[in-house]
Structure 1
Amino acid sequence: MRLLSILFCILLSIPLFGAVIFQPQPDNLFIVDDFEDADLKKMPEWWGFDDIELSVEPNNLSEFKYLGNRSMSLKGDPKDWYVGGCGTYFGVDVTNYNAIKLVIRGYGSKSGVLIVELFDDDNDNFELEPHPNVSSETLADDKFIHTVKVDWLGWKVVIIPFDRFVDGNLGIGDDIWNPYQEGSSGGLLQMQFVLLAADKTVMPRMLIDVVKLYYQGPIPIKKDERSQYVEDADFF
């Protein structure tokens, strides 16, 4: 597979970014985006790279109980399995959270593969700088990754505890999961979704209804055929 290209966002004004880009947050979780404003350019901004096709689409509310009105669509023609991806900037402290939660719609067994990438700040400057010699790498910050094979039809709740992520750029940064705003560190700087094909002859596509960071406590988790994990409905 050819080298995945990565686009980086450089933040110029930290206080302004934190105050303007994200919607008001509840106490127990951080809503990255629910796409209800139908705008990928603000609150927060999402950028696409390579051959990804990004859009906001209306949901069929009869398909799943916890859906909002809109979702972000990811699709595109693969080249040697790889399509492209999208990203958004955080600059947040995740001390109070231990998992990411997504609501994803698949279109069957060949919907695609979603790589979730999280970047923490290791050189204490609130910026994610690209490596000058390797376009797919950072200069000084860690990249942690987790792969989700989207092979189902319909909606599913996907929970990824932070401890399921693995270091995707060993030797760069401090190789330690520490996305906390201690000292002058920016904490968790950025998230990216990278889309791959499950079959080179089939265009991958999926919808993401909501992206949230939250604390997953030791509550027993019940299995459900329509979600990877089903927990407290109040989360939604």
Structure 2
Amino acid sequence: MVILLEDVGKSYELDGKRLVVLDGVSAQIGQGEFVSLIGPSGCGKSTLFNIICGLAEPDRGKVLFNGREGVGAGEVVSYMPQKDLLLPWRSLLDNVILAREVDGVSRKEARREARELMSLFGLAGFENSYPSELSGGMRQRAALMRTVLARRPVLLLDEPFGALDAITRTRMQLWLLEIWANFRQAIFFVTHDIDEALLLSGRVYVLTPRPARVALHLKVDLPGPRSAEIITTPRFLELKKTIMEALLK
């Protein structure tokens, strides 16, 4: 077990009233797993990620890392938010090594490590380019590379492909599966897209509208390696119907 969430609750004060965002969410992400979290807009998915990262404290419940409390989130998780947040004054190469530099690795060594992976991430030849010179898909690849290079056991990916066009998004989804197969870090993936969740994941948690609870925990028993064609198979459509029904309850 890498991350265990036990009965996590969170609320905020808004205009003098208590707004409950998470109401007893429990989930787990095991070593090397790909798990997706899906739910309606505003249900608290990003709030849950903030709690896992240590950016917010739960009102109740526990977040356990490797079965223990008191372990710093920075030792376990690397977080990629919805926006790529590349630094405009740094080259692509120097953007992707940022986490390694923060960990105390020399810039020379971090650059060497990154250069070895540029082809795998589809960024070879663009090392000296700046974010403004890159396409949306390339910026997301760079942001994911930075997240992977942090070398944490779990990647938290918060709708990383939400702003991309449909064709680029499909390509990025299949590419992400290749990256996951190479590195085998656990991935906890937030999405609004049922097809995306099923294409990528081994398990899916479905949240209710706010205040969020787990409405469904679904094992995705689809064969691998996955391809875009799998979304037309009878079993995929059955699983999609199951998730849709849980979302519409």
Common fold: TM-score over 0.5: no
The structure that has the greater radius of gyration is 2
